Structure 1
């Protein structure tokens, strides 16, 4: 089962208003050699909502072609169900191993709307589906009842939860509760990189990681400690990255990750899709300082 371990979310870099295919391929190839358990393209870090259908089809193809033996998952979220199903079809044709579905909104969605979206996708999919719960970007809040209803659908393979409680006992209790309402074959993956170590220590099966898509080594070190049962070491390694988590909180993980990738020369400057602008020079100096202090390197 590949919805376990570390799933790395790479950027979709842009250049001159179009996708920087060479930059994206280089990011995927780096990840394929670093030991991540899966690569998830076209997540929020991959700016999926800003890409056309053709651009998303191309990214899926490039990811599969360059990931080697590492399973590739791609995001298929869109405003309209018909568009989601088109992107599902494209993902299946590209040969990905699974799809990630966020309920994208403009008008507020009811629980019935969200369930209906997943029901339609589950019925049409030949691939396993990850439920992508990211209220900060989608403005959809999942209840546990909605988790349970969607997880009971065919093809639902994993739930990407938005963090865990800070208190370790509360975090363990939260994951234990989710285990009681989810089918045994549905994995639980933590997101929000600052919660990675805590989520793994609380019993999550996977870490869906932003930073791992650009600089996977520190995330892999946390994962390996957690897998070895050394929760204290995993926690300490995450605490050492607190300056990075602080940058994420201050500027947003997408902008910071893009600035790191640009600083390390992995992509060209101004790699985000307009109207999203990169960090200003002062913020970039903050990022460069943290990269140097933490020893983050390409």
Structure 2
């Protein structure tokens, strides 16, 4: 399950609630494309902005519409008791796995993070992916802490931040981590612009934002990287540089992906929880131009 392309769709919503029909259409598109797994309620799914009831509903909707594609549900929250509730709701919905980031307001210590994962793993009957995302959690995992957490029985994958855009350096980074974790724990790359480099360097999975909107495009890159076709994987990533440039210039992938979804009619406007907003003005025009130039479908 924690290999290949894991596509992360948006959770389209406004201040009145989740746009359930739009969300299920996004999920069904991923099923039709035959992605390897679907990840909901990650950063792209804006889990931190949803109530417990909304999160449970999203998990249920995704599983119901995912057919035989495994569903991984994000369970991160500020308090361990809430993480446990989200984990139970995800399991009751039929999730195949869960994704956990150490969300915090006060900066956490290594021991506090280990205790969080240890406590949650005791309650799980499904596999867990460790979500290492310092850009949102402001917690930086050491490889040694990853090694400790990876010994927990329910831990089956680690989602790492983007690697350097240099295959040799990326290989060294992946090798250091792999030397500290059990052989059955996979390593997945996040940060779409780093996907080709990360997978060619030895990562087993791509946890993908763009895969949630354009699964065929992401699958082509994934399969080339899995086949170790360096030329093809790099060419496919380079072709998407106009998109990667938008990520860099507009603070990451979320607002860009949400703006694309609105512009292409995949979701209605607005689709983000306030105070978040999609790109407007000249930035929106630039996104539209990039979509047209790339001819994504």
TM-score higher than 0.5: yes
Once the two structures are TM-superposed, the CA of residue 15 in structure 1 deviates from its matched residue by 3.2
Instruction: Find the aligned partners of 2:228 and 2:253 in 1 and give their Cα distance.
Output: 28
The aligned residue for residue 296 of structure 1 is 296
TM-score (norm 2): 0.98
* Residues 54-85 of structure 1 deviation map (CA, whole Å, 9 limit, x = unaligned): 00000000000001110000000000000000
* Residues 201-238 of structure 1 deviation map (CA, whole Å, 9 limit, x = unaligned): 00100000011011112211111111222111101110
The aligned residue for residue 144 of structure 1 is 143
1:199 correspondence with 2:201: no
1:271 correspondence with 2:271: yes
1:47 correspondence with 2:46: yes
Once the two structures are TM-superposed, the CA of residue 43 in structure 1 deviates from its matched residue by 0.4
The aligned residue for residue 283 of structure 1 is 283
Structure 2 gap segments, 5+ residues each: none
1:35 correspondence with 2:29: no
Instruction: Find the aligned partners of 2:37 and 2:127 in 1 and give their Cα distance.
Output: 14
* Paired residue total: 296
Q: Are the counterparts in 2 of residues 6 and 206 from structure 1 also a CA contact under 8 Å?
A: yes
* Residues 136-164 of structure 1 deviation map (CA, whole Å, 9 limit, x = unaligned): 01111000111000001110000000011
The aligned residue for residue 117 of structure 1 is 116
Instruction: Find the aligned partners of 2:104 and 2:12 in 1 and give their Cα distance.
Output: 24
Q: CA RMSD in A?
A: 0.8
Instruction: Find the aligned partners of 1:140 and 1:113 in 2 and give their Cα distance.
Output: 11
The aligned residue for residue 164 of structure 1 is 163
Q: Secondary structure at the match of 2:156?
A: strand
Q: Are the counterparts in 1 of residues 163 and 194 from structure 2 also a CA contact under 8 Å?
A: yes
Which range moved further: 251-260 or 164-173?
164-173
Instruction: Find the aligned partners of 2:177 and 2:107 in 1 and give their Cα distance.
Output: 25
Instruction: Find the aligned partners of 1:16 and 1:214 in 2 and give their Cα distance.
Output: 23
Structure 1 gap segments, 5+ residues each: none
